[in-house]
Structure 1
Amino acid sequence: MHVEVVGQLNAEHTVVLSSGLGGSARFWQPQLAALTPHYRVVLYDQLGTGRSPADLPAGYRIADMAQELFEALDAVGVDDCHLIGHALGGHIGLTMALQQPQRLRSLVIINGWHQLSPHTQRCFSVRRQLLDHIGPAAYVEAQALFLYPPTWIHQHAAELAGEDQQVLSHFPPPDNLRRRLEAVQGFAMSDAELAQIEAPTLLIANRDDLLVPWTCSQQLEQRLPRARLAMLEFGGHASSVTQAEQTNTLLVEHLTRFSVLPFNVT
């Protein structure tokens, strides 16, 4: 996979940024100015997306994505880290925390879930129909509707038009996207599994998220032993983009606490 290590390369603490369904490291651009002055930051294009070309196999799972990230971190010499994941990226973080808990100092999940909501399932079904029966251009044009609030789309129309063209020009093989959609739809963790996760976890949710009901984060908070929920009123599913300043403040507060305190502190 394409992996970038930026920021303070000799810092004691490493922050890994794991994107959602799109898989691209570019998603985290609004966070870099807040994180790179203090941390070593690892970004990566998930396998089969962006600068990490591959043909993903049938039956590809979130567990495979977690294993790929373990191997990537080993390759760049990162033994433990704070992981920040958006949606699917949060699923990767939960899986890592369950499989190799010693590797995660803390976890942040932005608009994630542990059981797929029927509402989110319906959204994914629509996206799959667009991909299969209309094509990539329609899939990309619809993507902003699931990610951003209507007023934000109105205010950033020209910027989004340029972004759509860039995404379309680098659109992944459709079979890869189908495999990734199936993986995220197939992800689930039981209450018993979540109860085993000891990583201190910040959950960030948005009340106006069109794709994932904010109650999914509330359910995670109730099941994870060391979780707290920060609720944003505005920002949609991709609030790390639309509410970057507020999101960055939450991230820095969380990372500061669990960088100063000893590893595994309550």
Structure 2
Amino acid sequence: MLPATHTPAPAAELEALLAQRFAQRTLVLNDSHQAIRETGSGPAVVLLHGIGSGAGSWLEVALQLGQHARVVAWDAPGYGDSTPLPPLAPKAENYAERLFQTLDALNIEHCLLVGHSLGAITAAAFARLHPQRVRRLVLISPAQGYGDPARDIQRQQVRKKRITALEQLGIAQMAAQRSAAMLSPHPSVKALEWVRWNMARLNPQGYRQAIELLCGDHLLRHAPLAVPCEVHCGEADGITAPETCLSLAKALGAPFTLIPDAGHASPIEQPCLVAGRLAFALKESLTGSVQ
């Protein structure tokens, strides 16, 4: 195993690119700080990452989209330099309120809103609460959540497993052990290292709050949606399996497509394909087309 202080070459190159072309800045909101990364200009695309990641995971997607859009990715509350939310066990509405404040601070009136994994629950909640701010909703490998009372046993098991892993392994070991599960069976070295780099930067407090969101809420609580929506999933996703994402898409009345040669972290593993899907969704949102 490489020493914790050593960054493998592909990740070091991406880290340098992140600083140069998708740099972080911190917004001062009413009662909190919110870290974002931004590139490009034009119609807004807002990217919400998953539970084991951060704004940096969108780097290559953002650089492609930034050629014809204003692309903003946040570090969710409690991630990176973003202030955690006040509740110990926040609901999606709490994350959606922070997102509302963030978009106001950025003077973004309308956006294509993209939620990956756990970020999909926040995205769906925001679209339900503020449909006038969302041109179109894109969910990539959406986490369903375990907050439905019918999933109570599974909820308890998942919560215990994740908190135990955090307490016994710590963030660094979790990143080392879980990174491969985020990708397809034969990922590139670059993709594996970038998943690990992002996961290794989790903050325990923010991660604990995200566990509570995952286990205490569920995406379909925020349905039906009043905005156009589409669902995508990596064809080799072993975390939010394609059949589960398809069922969720049907429940939302949304079109569904697979992302070839990708696992759960498709924005890292197949950034060109994901950027292409988002560019098309942006075009659809601006022309008013509905699939």
Structure 1-normalised TM-score? Answer: 0.84
Q: How does 1:168-187 map to 2 (within 5 A)?
A: 168=200, 170-172=201-203, 174-187=204-217
Q: Are 1:204 and 1:232, in contact at CA under 8 Å, matched by a contact in 2?
A: yes
Match of 2:189 in 1: 156
Match of 1:237 in 2: 264
For the pair 1:104 / 2:134, whether they are aligned, the reply is yes
Counterpart CA distance in 1 for 2:196 and 2:268 is 15
- 1:93-124 per-residue CA deviation (whole Å, 9 max, x = no partner) reads 10011111111100110001445488898666
Counterpart CA distance in 1 for 2:122 and 2:198 is 26
Match of 2:230 in 1: 202
Q: Are 1:15 and 1:42, in contact at CA under 8 Å, matched by a contact in 2?
A: yes
Counterpart CA distance in 1 for 2:137 and 2:59 is 19
Match of 1:215 in 2: 243
For the pair 1:93 / 2:128, whether they are aligned, the reply is no
Match of 1:228 in 2: 255
Q: Which runs of 5+ in 1 are unaligned?
A: none
Per-residue deviation at 1:53? 4.0
Counterpart CA distance in 2 for 1:120 and 1:253 is 36
Counterpart CA distance in 1 for 2:197 and 2:141 is 26
Match of 1:135 in 2: 170
Aligned mate of 1:32, from 62, 65, 85: 62
Q: Quick one: structure 1 residues 115 and 135, their matched pair in 2 at CA, closer, same or farther if it must change by over 3 Å?
A: closer
Q: Quick one: structure 1 residues 115 and 47, their matched pair in 2 at CA, closer, same or farther if it must change by over 3 Å?
A: closer
Counterpart CA distance in 2 for 1:163 and 1:231 is 20
SS in 2 for 1:150: coil
Match of 1:15 in 2: 45
Q: Quick one: structure 1 residues 129 and 145, their matched pair in 2 at CA, closer, same or farther if it must change by over 3 Å?
A: farther
Percent of counterpart pairs with the same letter?
25
Aligned mate of 1:6, from 10, 29, 39: 39
SS in 2 for 1:236: coil
- 1:44-102 per-residue CA deviation (whole Å, 9 max, x = no partner) reads 21111112244753122222111100011011111111101101111111001111111
Q: Quick one: structure 1 residues 231 and 208, their matched pair in 2 at CA, closer, same or farther if it must change by over 3 Å?
A: same
Q: Quick one: structure 1 residues 160 and 30, their matched pair in 2 at CA, closer, same or farther if it must change by over 3 Å?
A: same
Match of 1:76 in 2: 106
Q: Quick one: structure 1 residues 91 and 171, their matched pair in 2 at CA, closer, same or farther if it must change by over 3 Å?
A: closer
Counterpart CA distance in 1 for 2:183 and 2:154 is 17
Q: Quick one: structure 1 residues 175 and 54, their matched pair in 2 at CA, closer, same or farther if it must change by over 3 Å?
A: closer
Q: Quick one: structure 1 residues 123 and 198, their matched pair in 2 at CA, closer, same or farther if it must change by over 3 Å?
A: same
Q: Quick one: structure 1 residues 127 and 145, their matched pair in 2 at CA, closer, same or farther if it must change by over 3 Å?
A: farther
Counterpart CA distance in 1 for 2:178 and 2:116 is 15
Cα RMSD (Å) of the superposition?
2.7
Match of 1:261 in 2: 288
SS in 2 for 1:52: coil
Code of the residue aligned with 2:246 in structure 1: it is Q
Code of the residue aligned with 1:194 in structure 2: it is A
Per-residue deviation at 1:190? 4.2
Match of 2:20 in 1: none
